[in-house]
C-alpha cells in the first residue's frame, strides 16, 4: 500500500519504521524467466512496496520491460503483462525510495534501468545507496549526460556509457569502481546475468540454482519461492558473470573489511531468510534472549508488537519464563479510506492497523517487545492502547540499540534531529513515551545474538552498525558536503 500524505494512514504504524530501499532478483537459463522473477519479487515485497519493474530478453523479440506502481501481485500476475516479457533471462526490482522523489515516485524512477550501448543493451537493478551520487551526477551532466530519473542508480548506466571498455561486463566494472557507498547490483545483457556486491558487502545478494538455470536474489526467501537451491552468498567485492550455464567469478575492487548491515538481521530481512549460515529468525530470537538477560523485569505477559517484534518476544519469554501472548492483533487488510482526514481520524491511524486483546491485557503487567524506536510516535500510541485496555503496567523492550544516526547506505532514515535517541537519553525516552520502563539491547548484546560471543570488537566491527554507533565505514561524501557532522572519533 502506498501511504498518501493527508490520509488517516500518514501517521500510522509503518510511518514510524525504517524502510529498506528495494529488493532485486534475476534468473537465467529457464523458460519464461520473467515468471520466475515475478515470484522472486513477490517474496521480496517487504523490501519495497512503492513500485516494481522487470526487464527480460528474448532472442527474437529482444529486450522488453514493464514498470508498474504498487504491489507485484497486482501487476505481474496479469497474463497480458507477463506475455510481453518473454525470454530465458530477466531481472527485476521492487522499490521503496531512499534516493529520488520520495513519496512522489515517477515511473521513470522505477528500476531496472536500461541502456542501449554499441555492443548491445544492458539493464541494471540496484539495492543500496550511492554516497557520492550527487557529485557524480553533476560531473556527468556537465559532460553531456542527460538523466531521465532522479535516482542515484541511474549514474551507473551513464558511467557505463562513458567507459572505453569493449564489453558490457567490463564497463559495469568501470562504473562501479567510480561509485561509493553500498550496492548490490544485478545486471543483464542479451546473454549474461551479472551479480555484484560492494567491497564491504553492506547489502545482501545470494546465488541459487534452479534446474539448469541460475538465480540471484537479495534474500534466500526469494530462492525458496521458485524452488531454487541455495548455493552461496556473493562475497563482498565479488562480481559473478553467468553465461551459457557457467559462472565466472571476478574481484574488481580493492579488498576491504566485510561490514554487512546488521539491521538486515534486526528488521529488514524476512525471518525465513538466512545470512552467513545463520537463520534471521534465530538471530531475532537470540536478541530476545539477550534482552531478557540484560533488562529483566517482573511482569505477567510478554507481547510482541506485530509482526517484526515476534521472534524477539518469543526469545524474551523463553529466557525470562514470562508467558508469551499475542496481546496485539494486526489487521492485515487495511486499505485506503475515503474518510475525511480530520485530526481525530488521523489519530486513529495505529488503531486501524493494530487492536488490543482487552480480555488478555486487563489487569496485567505487560512487556511489549518491538524491533526499534525511530521517532517514538507509534510507541506512544501503542502504549496508550495498552493502558486503555486496562493494563496495570507497560514495559517496552527494544530488539535493537537506540537508533541515533541516519543511514546513508540504502535505508530511509529521518534526519538526525528527528531521531528520538539523538536528542534524548534512555530515561528521557521512557518518560516521553510514558511507560513504566524502557530498555534497549546493548550493541554488544546485539552482536552476541548475531553470533559474536565476545560482543562488538570496536577496532574491527563485523557489521555496519552506523545507525547505532555513528561510525560510518564509508564516508557519506555528498552529505558531508551538505554539512552533515559525523561523530567525533573516540580518543
Catalytic positions, written as ranges? 22
**Dist CA 247 CA 234 (whole Å):** 12
Short-list 173, 441, 433, 86, CA closest to 283: 441
Is there a binding annotation on residue 464?
yes
Report in angstroms the alpha-carbon separations of 23 from 269, 360, 368: 10, 38, 30
Question: What is d(CA 103, CA 11) in angstroms, rounded to the nearest whole number?
Answer: 14
Half-sphere exposure at residue 478, Cβ-oriented, CA atoms within 13 angstroms: 18
* C-alpha cell, 187: 545486471
Q: Is 155 annotated as a binding residue?
A: no
Annotated binding-site residue? 308: yes
371 is in an annotated binding site: yes
The answer to whether 38 touches 86, Cβ cutoff 8 Å, is no
Q: What is the 3-state secondary structure (H, E, C) of 142-193?
A: HCCCCCCCCCCCHHHHHHHHHCCCCCHHHHHHHHHHHCCEEEEEEEECCCEE
- How many Cβ atoms from other residues are within 10 Å of residue 245's Cβ? 10
d(CA 326, CA 249): 47
Closest Cα partner for 126 from 148, 101, 98? Answer: 98
Does 467 count as an annotated binding residue?
yes
* Per-position b or e across 197-232, b if 16+ CB within 10 A of its CB: bbbbbbbbbbbbebeebbbbbbbbbbbbbbebebee
| Long-range pairs of 72-78 with CB within 8 A, sequence gap ≥ 24 | 72/38, 72/41, 72/42, 72/45, 73/42, 73/45, 76/34, 76/38, 76/41, 76/42, 76/52, 77/38
Q: Does 221 belong to an annotated binding site?
A: no
State the Cα–Cα distance between residues 174 and 164, nearest whole angstrom.
9
Annotated binding-site ranges: 261, 308, 370-371, 407, 464, 467
Annotated binding-site ranges for [4Fe-4S] cluster: 261, 407, 464, 467
Annotated binding-site ranges for Mg(2+): 308, 370-371
Amino acid at each position: 500500500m502506498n501511504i498518501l500524505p493527508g490520509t488517516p494512514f500518514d501517521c500510522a504504524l509503518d510511518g514510524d519504521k525504517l524502510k529498506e530501499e528495494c529488493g532485486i532478483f534475476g534468473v537465467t537459463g529457464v523458460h519464461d524467466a520473467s515468471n520466475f522473477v515475478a515470484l522472486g519479487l513477490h517474496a521480496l515485497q517487504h523490501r519495497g512496496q512503492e513500485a516494481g519493474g522487470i526487464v527480460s530478453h528474448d532472442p527474437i523479440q529482444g529486450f522488453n520491460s514493464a514498470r508498474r506502481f504498487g504491489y507485484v501481485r497486482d501487476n505481474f500476475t496479469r497474463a497480458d503483462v507477463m506475455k510481453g516479457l518473454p525470454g530465458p533471462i530477466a531481472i527485476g526490482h521492487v522499490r521503496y525510495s531512499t534516493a529520488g522523489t520520495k513519496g512522489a515516485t515517477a515511473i521513470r524512477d522505477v528500476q531496472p534501468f536500461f541502456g542501449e550501448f554499441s555492443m548491445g543493451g544492458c539493464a541494471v537493478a540496484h539495492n543500496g545507496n550511492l554516497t557520492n551520487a550527487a557529485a557524480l551526477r553533476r560531473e556527468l551532466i556537465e559532460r553531456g549526460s542527460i538523466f531521465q530519473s532522479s535516482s542515484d542508480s541511474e549514474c551507473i548506466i551513464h558511467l557505463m556509457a562513458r567507459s572505453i571498455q569493449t564489453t558490457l561486463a567490463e564497463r559495469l566494472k568501470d562504473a562501479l569502481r567510480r561509485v561509493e557507498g553500498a550496492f548490490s547490483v544485478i545486471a543483464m545483457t542479451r546473454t549474461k546475468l551479472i551479480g555484484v556486491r560492494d567491497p564491504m558487502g553492506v547489502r545482501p545478494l545470494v546465488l541459487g540454482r534452479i534446474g539448469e538455470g541460475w538465480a540471484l536474489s537479495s534474500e534466500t526467501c526469494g530462492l525458496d519461492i521458485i524452488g531454487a537451491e541455495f548455493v552461496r552468498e556473493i562475497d563482498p567485492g565479488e562480481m559473478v558473470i553467468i553465461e551459457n550455464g557457467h559462472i565466472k567469478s571476478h574481484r574488481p575492487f580493492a579488498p576491504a573489511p566485510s561490514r554487512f548491515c546488521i539491521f538486515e538481521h534486526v528488521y529488514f530481512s524476512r525471518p525465513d531468510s538466512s545470512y552467513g549460515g545463520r537463520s534471521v529468525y534465530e538471530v531475532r530470537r537470540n536478541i530476545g534472549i539477550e534482552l531478557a538477560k540484560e533488562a529483566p523485569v517482573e511482569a505477567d505477559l510478554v507481547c510482541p508488537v506485530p509482526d517484526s517484534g515476534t521472534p524477539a518476544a518469543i526469545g524474551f519469554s523463553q529466557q525470562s519464563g514470562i508467558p508469551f501472548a499475542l496481546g496485539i492483533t494486526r489487521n492485515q487488510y487495511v486499505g485506503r479510506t475515503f474518510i475525511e482526514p480530520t485530526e481525530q481520524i488521523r489519530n486513529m491511524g495505529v488503531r486501524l492497523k493494530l487492536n488490543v486483546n482487552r480480555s488478555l491485557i486487563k489487569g496485567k503487567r505487560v512487556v511489549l517487545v518491538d524491533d526499534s524506536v525511530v521517532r517514538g510516535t507509534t510507541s506512544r500510541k501503542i502504549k496508550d492502547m495498552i493502558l486503555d485496555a486496562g493494563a496495570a503496567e507497560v514495559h517496552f523492550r527494544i530488539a535493537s540499540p537506540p537508533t541515533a544516526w541516519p543511514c546513508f547506505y540504502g535505508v530511509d532514515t529521518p534526519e538526525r534531529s528527528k531521531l528520538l535517541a539523538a536528542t534524548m537519553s534512555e530515561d528521557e525516552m521512557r518518560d516521553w513515551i510514558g511507560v513504566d520502563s524502557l530498555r534497549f539491547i546493548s550493541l554488544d548484546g546485539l552482536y552476541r545474538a548475531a553470533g559474536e560471543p565476545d560482543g562488538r570488537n570496536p577496532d574491527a566491527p563485523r557489521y555496519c552498525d552506523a545507525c547505532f554507533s555513528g561510525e560510518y565505514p564509508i564516508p557519506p561524501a555528498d552529505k558531508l558536503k551538505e554539512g552533515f557532522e559525523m561523530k567525533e572519533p573516540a580518543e
